[in-house]
Amino acid sequence: MNEEHKGSRRSGGPRKAQEIFDATLDLLAEKGYEGLTIEGAAQRSGVNKTTIYRWWPSKGALLGAALIGARQLELTPPDTGTLAGDLEALLGTITTLLTERPASDIAVSVLGAATHNPELAAHVKDFLADRIAREQSVFDRAVARGEIAADTDAILLVDLLAGAAWVRAVLRQLPLEKGFVARTVNIVLNGARAAD
């Protein structure tokens, strides 16, 4: 791969990358991972399939790029002025992804397929690493404000919050009732033990 091609890949891919990413996620939401094809994404986005194969040699690679680069899954780290407020905003975004279509269909399809597909699992790992890198400013500000220790495991905090939403919404099939986000953040930050 020449340096120009490498640089273009870092900048997001071919000229119609967003259309390709949108088509990929739309097809995933409609048909699941098994029904997603590069040919289908090419047809829906109006590009030649050879263009997609030139940039992403497999369905897993295409979906991995779409997860990180698609407008549908963009993330702007919150800055509410407190760690609790920021975590509530992050968890609110996660609960929306898990409960509102088509995002919920995308999340369930990707995470379900990743358990059986090592290539896709590697791309999901890259997506999650990208997310925590984008969220790092939340934790840096919290350290600067003295809300958490500098050695706090930010990934574990996010995993605890996201895991609670995932288990409740997807595995238990329970509604994420009003107050779920604030209550979950409070328990993760302050624990469930009764005050002395």
Q: What is the pLDDT of residues 64-118, one digit of tens each?
A: 889 888 877 777 889 999 999 999 999 998 888 888 887 778 888 888 788 888 8
Q: Which domains does the chain have, with CATH numbers?
A: 3-69 (1.10.357.10), 76-190 (1.10.357.10)
What integer pLDDT is reported at residue 10 of this predicted model? 38
Cβ-contact 188, 87 below 8 angstroms: yes
What integer pLDDT is reported at residue 195 of this predicted model? 64
How many distinct helices (H) and strands (E) make up the chain?
10, 0
Q: In the numeric block, which tokens belong to residue 99?
A: 């409960």
| 2-53: pLDDT as tens digits | 333 333 333 446 678 889 999 999 999 889 888 999 999 999 999 998 989 9
Q: What is the 3-state secondary structure (H, E, C) of 22-66?
A: HHHHHHHHHHHHHHCCHHHHHHHHCCCHHHHHHHCCCHHHHHHHH
Asked if residue 181 has pLDDT above 70, the reply is: yes
| 106-165: pLDDT as tens digits | 888 888 788 888 888 888 888 888 888 889 999 999 999 999 999 999 999 999 999 999
Token pair 């919290």: residue: 142
What integer pLDDT is reported at residue 56 of this predicted model? 92
What integer pLDDT is reported at residue 194 of this predicted model? 66
Measured in whole angstroms, the distance separating CA 164 from the mean position of its chain's CA atoms is 15
Asked if residue 1 has pLDDT above 60, the reply is: no
What integer pLDDT is reported at residue 179 of this predicted model? 92
Helix, strand, coil percentages, rounded to 5, for the chain: 70, 0, 30
Q: How many CB atoms lie within 10 A of CB 87?
A: 27
